[in-house]
Chain A
Amino acid sequence: MKKIHIFISLLFLGGILGIVLGCLADVSRTAPVAAKLLSHDGVLIGKTLYKLKLIPWMLILCGLEMLIVSVLLFLKRNGVRRWATSFRLKTSMPKMVAFGLLTCYFLFSIVVLNFLIVTGGADFFRYKGLSYMEKIEKGFIDSGYRDSFKVVKASLGQIPEDAGILLICESDVKYIINYYLYPRKIYEYPTENVGLTEVPTAWLQDKKIRYVVEVKGGDIQPNRMDSDSTRFIIKRLSY
């Protein structure tokens, strides 16, 4: 059997194997374990888990592509053989290494493209038909700030657009909350870790602050699925 036939056969079998593995793989049990292993401190991270669950689809896509390429190569086998012969005769070691690295680069690029297509496709179906607020909620979940959406939703409902708000929040999620609450004017007191009682009334009056949103717990470290649910208070000031 010629080498080219062996190569095409291996590619074909690899394709079949990819599709079979993709169809049979049960990620519901293995993915959480793998996600824990991949995290730095053994805590389950939502994004990693989501991506791992898409691996079977990627295997199927890669398998399909390998099948198509093997069939194309089989149909053009004479041309490929000629090219391979000339390739062998003209190579030197550095050229061989450079060509090998470039080939690896492209193979990996195709795997990346497949992964992007699978994740992009999954995202497309997840977001399809959702309202703007539902998309925002999903955005919060994807960023690992799943509970903080409740703060945004409640604030949007209770606080008028032109209001000044004092936001007391230790987490970086304050910047995301700020984005969605704009054009409401969100302030933070210059000194860190200060409760509402310690904020001078003169400063509040100077900034025309009428509301306080205090966010505690949860989502301090994004993506961690073991975090407590966020507790928050929305308070109207009267002075």
Chain B
Amino acid sequence: MMDVLRVLLFIVSLYVVGILVFRLIMRDLSHSSIFETLAVSFGLGIGLLTTGAFVLNYFRFPIALSTVFLLILFLICVPVIFTKKNYLSSLRKIRIKGLFSIINDLSFFDKILVLLILLFIGFVFLSSISQPLNTFDSRAHWGLTAKILYHNKTVYSDGLFDVDRVHPHKDYPLLIPYSESLVYTFMGKVDDQWVRIIFPFFYLSLLLYIYSIQRRFFSRSHSLVFTAVLAGLPSLTIVSGGGVLSGYADVPLSFFAAVSFLYCYTWLHSYEKKYIVLASLFFIFTIFTKNEGSVLFIIMVFSMFLVLLSLRHPTVQQKSIAMAMLFFIPLVGNLPWFIMRTHLPVYSEYNYTGLLNFRSVAEGISRLPMILIYFFKEFFLSIHRWSFFGLLITFSGIIAIKKLFRNHNLVLIMPLLSYCAVLVLIYMITPFQLNDVISGALIRLLTHIAPIGVFLLSKLFYDQKFIEFKIGRTSFRGL
């Protein structure tokens, strides 16, 4: 019972920190729904606590329970001090009331979709706490690093810095290990069953965020349809392949990347600085979660730059400030990690930046047909992993080809295509046998961009009027 309470205390701390920081950035929570507040708050809470713990460790402060409480206290006090308005009255503006009115306002069709989404969420929560970590990387890599951090209370440990200690990837980003070690710190022991509770929260937050960001642009029923599409995407829920139950960092990365990308997209519609601040903060966490996060960050900055070049509005000043924030905040936020990383042992064959040269790319061209076949098989034929998602997005993209590469849609489609191109490049230069690295990993890598793909699909369906819904108390009107 005490274990449950301690884990709950950790989760509540995340939400408290997250809500207060979100309130500080948004200034007024009445502009965001309760779902968006909850989703982003969880991301901010876990992101700030883990990066904060790492920065403390970087400056040689050990991470004990007292240090964590001080960190939480700091993260609570800063937003409270810097928020000018009466705090309690502004928090009351969180639109909880809307939550109850939605239930009464749902059509029969909406209720079925909500039920489906809730079933997926319920299943994910129950399954995650029914057994300990049991997949390979969740123990061999993420779980081991978490144990090292918890037992040593610091990142400066032989377990990570001694080249001869057994560890598959000593130089991998640390957000997930720090999250797990914080759970252990709250519990006062290593418990690899309860530690899994953080992963369903990433899944839940991802769904809530995708729903709430769609609601900014589309009707409720439309948003629910595509939230259900994301909830039911097999690659997110199945255990093998980095799904939410695997304990891998892929779903957390998908969540952080989705929030960053879609806040950039939201900024393009309103030019409000707060969305760029949020996108930049989430890019810090994206980079700190997995190596692929850095790739996603570079791709998004590049895409935003190109899109802003092609737009008349906003003003040059607004564009410059946004680009500077988007570029520098994530880099500065991760500076301690970038510095520390240079001191961690790297196995030469994993050093892809070192392998990226003209010669290795030229040698890898012969692999290209095989790589494309793997991509085709994964996306269109692996129905047990992607259902009909590949066919759906390809078909919608072809029908809406003119709109697909226009203005704001570019900021969605460009990162998706660029990320796939980077993956192809990585497989061209990998020193391993192609079959060994691509068959199991491709599903995980494509999962990183799946939520953005679902949002794009939702946008295409809306633009092409593939399905139409009455506004308000709706009944499904068919096509």
Q: Which residues of A contact B127 (CB under 8 A)?
A: 116, 120, 123-124
A167-190 vs B, CB cutoff 8 Å, 1 = contact: the mask equals 100001011101110110111111
A94 to B398: give the CA distance in the assembly, Å.
10
Is B165 among interface residues, defined by CB-CB distance under 8 A?
yes
Q: In the complex the two chains form, is A105's CB within 8 Å of B163's CB?
A: no
A-B contacts counted at CB < 8 A amount to 163
A171 to B76: give the CA distance in the assembly, Å.
47
B139-166 vs A, CB cutoff 8 Å, 1 = contact: the mask equals 1110110011001000000110011111
Q: In the complex the two chains form, is B131's CB within 8 Å of A139's CB?
A: yes
Is B234 among interface residues, defined by CB-CB distance under 8 A?
yes
Question: Closest residue to B133 on the A side, CB-wise?
Answer: A139
Partner pick for A185 among B120, B165, B465, CB 8 A cutoff: B165
Is B134 among interface residues, defined by CB-CB distance under 8 A?
yes
A120 to B122: give the CA distance in the assembly, Å.
11
- Nearest Cβ distance between residue B88 and chain A, in whole angstroms? 41
B40-64 vs A, CB cutoff 8 Å, 1 = contact: the mask equals 0000000000000000000000000
Is A221 among interface residues, defined by CB-CB distance under 8 A?
no
A106 to B388: give the CA distance in the assembly, Å.
9
Q: Which residues of B contact A95 (CB under 8 A)?
A: 464-467, 479
Is A207 among interface residues, defined by CB-CB distance under 8 A?
yes
- Nearest Cβ distance between residue A157 and chain B, in whole angstroms? 18
A105 to B392: give the CA distance in the assembly, Å.
9
Q: Which residues of B contact A139 (CB under 8 A)?
A: 131-134
Range, interface on chain B: 35 or more
Q: In the complex the two chains form, is B388's CB within 8 Å of A135's CB?
A: no
Most chain A beta carbons < 10 A, residue from B120, B140, B167, B399: B140
Q: In the complex the two chains form, is B467's CB within 8 Å of A99's CB?
A: yes
Range, interface on chain A: 35 or more
Is A30 among interface residues, defined by CB-CB distance under 8 A?
no
Answer whether A143 and B136 are a contact pair too, CB < 8 Å, given A101-B392, A124-B130, A127-B130.
yes
B216-242 vs A, CB cutoff 8 Å, 1 = contact: the mask equals 000000000100110111100110000
Q: Which residues of A contact B312 (CB under 8 A)?
A: none
Q: In the complex the two chains form, is A188's CB within 8 Å of B166's CB?
A: yes
Is B387 among interface residues, defined by CB-CB distance under 8 A?
yes
Q: In the complex the two chains form, is A112's CB within 8 Å of B140's CB?
A: no
Q: In the complex the two chains form, is B164's CB within 8 Å of A108's CB?
A: no
Q: In the complex the two chains form, is A167's CB within 8 Å of B388's CB?
A: no
Answer whether A182 and B232 are a contact pair too, CB < 8 Å, given A99-B479, A172-B136.
no
Q: In the complex the two chains form, is B166's CB within 8 Å of A186's CB?
A: yes
Answer whether A187 and B166 are a contact pair too, CB < 8 Å, given A98-B461, A127-B131, A136-B132.
yes
Is B351 among interface residues, defined by CB-CB distance under 8 A?
no
Question: Closest residue to B239 on the A side, CB-wise?
Answer: A119
- 9 CB < 8 A contacts A-B: A90-B478, A97-B395, A98-B392, A98-B464, A102-B467, A113-B232, A176-B136, A182-B159, A186-B165
Task: Across the A-B interface, give the 6 residue pairs with the lowest CB-CB distance, nearest first.
Answer: A109-B232, A175-B140, A87-B478, A139-B134, A98-B466, A95-B479
Q: Give chain B's interface residues, CB within 8 Å of chain A.
A: 116, 119-120, 123, 126-127, 130-136, 139-141, 143-144, 147-148, 151, 158-159, 162-168, 193, 225, 228-229, 231-234, 237-238, 383-384, 387-389, 391-392, 395-396, 399, 461, 464-467, 475-479
